[in-house]
């Protein structure tokens, strides 16, 4: 479905606009109950040539209604049995595919031999697009996915293949109107008071008309399925699946390529059921329609069948055609929710399905191809991202087993070593510079060596992420989807109630009982990059006000979702305060001792653990007050500082002098009155909780000194 501008336009065949949107101008055909049910088509429609799919592949879908209805669901055994009875059609299709694509590849090879490859690039790209149109929807769908990756496809091919997203020659409007009447079971003028005589957009599986409901006067989009797609796709999937089996055997691949084809084919068959698409749209709207600046059209179930879909009309421009970084971030956040919050995701987010509405919102269209991401895999994916960013390749190898990417019998040590070699350079650039596409490319050899396999469920997830990154790269060549998604992953890990993710967070923050505050700092700082307000996105390169950072950190830690992290922070604060008490006692004792004659030197009672805890306390206070370690020039560097280094010449610990600059913490105090009432109440409870934990540590330390 594509948009048309609200102002009336004269009728002509169609126009491609420089702003990236595609609009087919139209004039309304007014319908009334006394008029003939058959509409008078405009001259352009009557004179239009037959679409290439019907012209060159029409023999594939010359089936009677009973035969066509037998292919409504994806069942490879039933499809194979069906076409065993039609060997001539199968043979003719194989010849057509082999001859057209074979000829094209041969010509491309000759261009290379004759050193004319660059000269003929645009011509060959246009020829390939025409071939794909002739072969039909299955091949167009493959090309659509490829065309969403400008980092992988040469510009000339990208321009041509992008035309397959929404600029396909439509089929006859007379056929479409007959299908509407047949599917809805009533004359078209009973349902609609007005309808565009020509489609406003045409895609591989169907085409869209703008209409007005007679009952309510609402302007709607009416999508009509292209005749013959069910039988054509069934035959092509049968052929592709057979070829996938040959490729797996010839290439000795670990991945079950046929299973990947089956997963894609199943989603394609589900996409051809408009009843299912309407239900998907309703569910998608319920889950994600409330996200700020996301728009999901309403579905009209009472005017929807398996081959006709009626939905709310939306107007706008293709997202890929406008430079709106904010909406890209909104799309990343929405995709995060789809994949990792609810597991119900849009598996076909190509540029034709994402619009920027005229009021600046992101609209999702076309809910035929959706995927389900189970909870166990969602948790595994989050853990894999955490372990990748934190360079924990041993844990990452275990995550790959959980996700079904490698067999449980694999040599974990060897896999860990291989993953370290693959990802070390990529991760060294920082999480914000990690490219999803680059990671997949770097993984190629390792996948083959250790018999990696791409589970069928994962193929759609990979495609969804790859397509989304491709759209973003078209707007910003330096954009990294994983780098932009990681802040939301960090926030989810810090706030999720899942026992598995809580255990993962604790394992990430503690090693051999030692608190790794640098990882908490990293998670918190990354989670603060998860911004959804347009002003913050547009000004993100200008720095962030310290007061804003403090407020975000306090809001997070005092919220109910931050309870688990709050407990960890209180525990570490108690350890630090305990160590501070020991340091203070040492300081006072030494100060008194230096004033007494003949007083023997007294060794410090602080242990290495106390020194570490004291340093963690310093860093926690700076973190909460919106400062980072490298912003405080007086910070003690290095965990291994000795007891003597912790003491200054006048006997006062260096650590104590870190807290003398009270003005550094004034922003923290100024933010407190601005917090919501419930958070202020939670803040008042913290001293008592901290005192209880501190008393427990002091008591344990005293008993240890008395009895040990």
Rounded to whole angstroms, how far apart are CA atoms 273 and 230? 10
Average pLDDT over residues 79-83: 91
* CA max distance for the chain: 118
| Token representation of residue 694 | 């501190």
* DSSP type of residue 341: I
**How many Cβ atoms from other residues are within 10 Å of residue 408's Cβ?**
9
Nearest to 59 by CA among 203, 266, 235: 235
Highest mean pLDDT of the ranges 241-255, 455-469, 505-519: 505-519
Tens digits of residue pLDDT in 133-146: 888 888 888 777 66
Kindly give the interhelix angle for 677-707 and 546-558, rounded to the nearest 10 degrees: 70
Question: What was the pLDDT predicted at 4?
Answer: 38
What is the distance between the terminal CA atoms of the chain, rounded to a whole angstrom? Answer: 77
Residues whose CB is less than 8 angstroms from the CB of residue 627 and which lie 6 or more positions away in sequence, other chains included: 546, 664
CB 500 within 8 A of CB 379: yes
Tell me the pLDDT band of 477, cut-offs 50, 70 and 90.
confident
Rounded to whole angstroms, how far apart are CA atoms 590 and 593? 5
Tell me the pLDDT band of 610, cut-offs 50, 70 and 90.
confident
Query: What is the pTM for the complete model shown?
Result: 0.72
Q: Coil, strand or helix: which one is 446?
A: helix
Rounded to whole angstroms, how far apart are CA atoms 39 and 119? 47
Cα angle value 343/349/350 (rounded, 5°): 165
CATH number for the domain whose boundaries are 172-225+273-313 = 3.30.200.20
Nearest to 86 by CA among 98, 94, 69, 72: 94
Q: Coil, strand or helix: which one is 451?
A: coil
Tens digits of residue pLDDT in 144-159: 766 655 545 666 676 7
Rounded to whole angstroms, how far apart are CA atoms 408 and 400? 9
Task: Delimit the domains of the chain by residue range.
Answer: 52-166+234-246, 172-225+273-313, 317-495, 541-592+607-626+675-707
Nearest to 176 by CA among 73, 301, 51: 51
CB 422 within 8 A of CB 446: yes
* Residue owning tokens 């390939």: 128
**Pick the residue with more confidence: 68 or 259?**
259
Alpha helix stretches (DSSP H) within 272-306: 274-288
Q: 461 in the Ramachandran plot: left (φ > 0), alpha (ψ -120 to 50) or beta?
A: alpha
| Token representation of residue 188 | 């078209």
pLDDT at 403 over 90: no
pLDDT at 383 over 50: yes
Question: What was the pLDDT predicted at 121?
Answer: 79
Task: Assign 3-class secondary structure to 367-386.
Answer: CCCEEECCHHHHHHHHHHHH
pLDDT, averaged across the chain: 77
CB 294 within 8 A of CB 362: yes
Average pLDDT over residues 397-405: 84
Kind and range of the H or E element at 308?
strand 308-312
User: Strand 206-213 to strand 308-312: parallel, antiparallel, or no bridges (unpaired)?
Assistant: unpaired
Average pLDDT over residues 262-274: 88
State whether the Cα torsion 480-482-486-492 is positive or negative.
positive
Cα angle value 275/281/287 (rounded, 5°): 140
Rounded to whole angstroms, how far apart are CA atoms 582 and 614? 10
Tens digits of residue pLDDT in 299-344: 999 999 999 999 999 999 888 778 787 888 888 888 888 988 899 9
* DSSP type of residue 193: E
Kindly give the interhelix angle for 456-475 and 257-271, rounded to the nearest 10 degrees: 70
Rounded to whole angstroms, how far apart are CA atoms 48 and 56? 16
CB 132 within 8 A of CB 143: yes
pLDDT at 656 over 70: no
Rounded to whole angstroms, how far apart are CA atoms 531 and 430? 19
Average pLDDT over residues 482-498: 83
Task: State the catalytic residues.
Answer: 348
Question: What was the pLDDT predicted at 667?
Answer: 63
Tens digits of residue pLDDT in 684-696: 888 898 899 889 8
């Amino acid at each position: 479905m594509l948009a048309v501008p609200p102002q009336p336009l004269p009728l002509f065949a169609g126009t491609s606009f420089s702003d990236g949107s595609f609009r087919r101008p139209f004039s309304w055909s007014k319908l009334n109950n006394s008029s003939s049910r058959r509409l008078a088509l405009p001259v352009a429609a009557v004179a239009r040539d037959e679409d290439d799919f019907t012209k060159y592949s029409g023999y594939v879908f010359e089936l009677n209604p009973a035969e066509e209805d037998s292919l409504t669901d994806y069942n490879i055994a039933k499809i194979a049995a069906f076409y065993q009875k039609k060997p001539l059609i199968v043979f003719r299709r194989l010849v057509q595919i082999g001859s057209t694509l074979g000829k094209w590849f041969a010509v491309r090879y000759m261009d290379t031999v004759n050193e004319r490859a660059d000269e003929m690039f645009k011509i060959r790209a246009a020829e390939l697009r025409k071939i794909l149109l002739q072969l039909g929807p299955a091949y167009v769908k493959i090309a659509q996915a490829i065309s969403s990756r400008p980092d992988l496809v040469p510009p000339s091919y990208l321009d041509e293949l992008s035309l397959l997203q929404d600029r396909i020659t439509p089929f006859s409007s007379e056929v479409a109107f007959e299908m509407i009447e047949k599917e809805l079971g009533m004359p078209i003028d009973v349902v609609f008071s007005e309808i565009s005589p020509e489609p406003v957009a045409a895609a591989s599986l169907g085409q869209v008309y703008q209409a007005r409901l007679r009952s309510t006067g609402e302007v709607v989009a009416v999508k009509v399925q292209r005749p013959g797609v069910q039988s054509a796709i069934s035959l092509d999937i049968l052929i592709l699946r057979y070829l996938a089996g040959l490729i797996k055997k010839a290439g000795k691949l670990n991945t079950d390529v046929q299973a990947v084809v089956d997963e894609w084919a199943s989603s394609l068959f589900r996409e051809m059921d408009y009843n299912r698409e309407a239900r998907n749209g309703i569910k998608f709207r319920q889950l994600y329609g409330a996200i700020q600046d996301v728009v999901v059209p309403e579905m009209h179930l009472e005017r929807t069948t398996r081959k006709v879909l009626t939905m709310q009309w939306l107007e706008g421009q293709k997202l890929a055609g406008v430079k709106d970084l904010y909406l890209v971030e909104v799309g990343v956040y929405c995709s995060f929710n789809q994949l990792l919050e609810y597991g119900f995701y849009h598996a076909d987010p190509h540029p034709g399905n994402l619009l920027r509405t005229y009021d600046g919102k992101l609209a999702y269209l076309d809910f035929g191809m959706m995927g389900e991401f189970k909870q166990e895999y969602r948790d595994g994916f989050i853990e894999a991202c955490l372990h990748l960013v934190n360079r924990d390749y041993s844990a990452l190898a275990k995550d790959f087993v959980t996700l079904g990417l490698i067999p449980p019998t694999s040599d974990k040590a060897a896999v860990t070593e291989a993953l370290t070699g693959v990802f070390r350079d990529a991760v060294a650039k920082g999480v914000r510079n990690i490219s999803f596409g680059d990671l997949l490319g770097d993984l190629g050899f390792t996948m083959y060596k250790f018999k990696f396999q791409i589970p069928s469920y994962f193929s759609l997830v990979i495609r969804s992420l790859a397509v989304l990154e491709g759209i973003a790269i078209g707007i910003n060549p330096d954009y990294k989807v994983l780098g932009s998604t990681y802040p939301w992953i960090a926030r989810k890990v810090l706030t999720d109630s899942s026992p598995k993710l809580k255990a993962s967070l604790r394992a990430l923050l503690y090693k051999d009982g030692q608190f790794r505050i640098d990882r908490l700092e990293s998670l918190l700082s990354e989670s603060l990059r998860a911004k959804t307000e347009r002003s913050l996105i547009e000004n993100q390169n200008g720095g962030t006000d310290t007061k804003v950072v403090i407020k975000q950190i306090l809001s997070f830690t005092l919220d109910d979702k931050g309870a688990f992290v709050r407990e960890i922070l209180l525990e570490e604060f108690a350890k630090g305060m305990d160590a501070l008490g020991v340091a203070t006692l040492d300081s006072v004792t030494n100060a008194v001792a230096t004033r007494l004659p003949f007083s023997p030197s007294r060794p410090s009672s602080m242990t290495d653990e106390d020194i570490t805890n004291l340093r963690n306390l310093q860093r926690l206070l700076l973190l909460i007050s919106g400062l980072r370690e490298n912003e405080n020039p007086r910070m003690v560097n290095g965990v291994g500082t000795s007891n003597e280094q912790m003491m200054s010449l006048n006997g006062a610990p260096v650590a104590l002098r870190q807290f003398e600059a009270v003005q550094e913490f004034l922003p923290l105090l100024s933010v407190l009155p601005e917090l919501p009432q419930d958070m202020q109440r939670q803040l008042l409870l913290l001293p008592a909780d901290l005192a209880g934990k501190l008393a427990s540590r002091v008591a344990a330390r005293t008993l240890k000194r008395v009895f040990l």
